[in-house]
Every structure is written in C-alpha cells, then in structure tokens.
Amino acid sequence: MLTLTENATSAVKNLASQIPTETGGLRISEAEAPNEGYALSLAPAPEQGDTVVENNGARVFVDESANIALGDRVLDARVAEDGSVGFALAQQI
C-alpha cells in the first residue's frame, strides 16, 4: 500500500485544509493521456473504489487503477520557497 513521508503528510494536511469538509484529502488518479503519469487533485471525499491512505490526519485517496501501480511506493513532498508543493513517488525500501 502507498505510504506517506512526514513531508508528504504535512503537505497533504495543509492542502486539504482548503477543503470545507473534514473528509477531504488529496486524490491520486491515472492521468487522462497514456504515459502522462498521475493526476493530483483535492477531493471532498473518496470516490467509490478509492483506497484511502491515512497518516496522522492526512488523507490520500488512490483510484483503483493507480492503486495497483502505487502499492509499493512512497509519496514524498517538497515545499518551495514560493509556497508551491511538489510531490514525488519513490520505491519503498
């Protein structure tokens, strides 16, 4: 199952605080175009079939097709000086 680093947990919680519901989180789905990677979006709740990954209050919803590919990955995040957030996936050790 996808896991979150401490940085990703903080970033997801910060982003999700913009959603006016306590059930919200970051949603990861496969991009619409083939070989484009993954799409990230804020969601008020998981969609049917999503796997919910929770870590210290951070919630990430992973769609069914992305869940297969991301099952052995770690989500990390980096916040730039301008406040923008970048996410990266790495292999679990």
46 to 26, 33, 88: CA distances (angstroms): 9, 22, 21
Other C-beta atoms within 10 Å of 78: how many? Answer: 12
Range of the domain at 60: 3-91
Q: How far apart are CA 28 and CA 59, in angstroms?
A: 11
pLDDT at position 58:
95
Q: How far apart are CA 82 and CA 70, in angstroms?
A: 29
| Domain CATH code at residue 19 | 2.60.300.12
**Average pLDDT per block of 10 residues along the chain, 93 residues long:** 95 93 92 85 96 96 91 93 91 82
DSSP class of residue 64 equals H
Tally of structural domains, the chain: 1
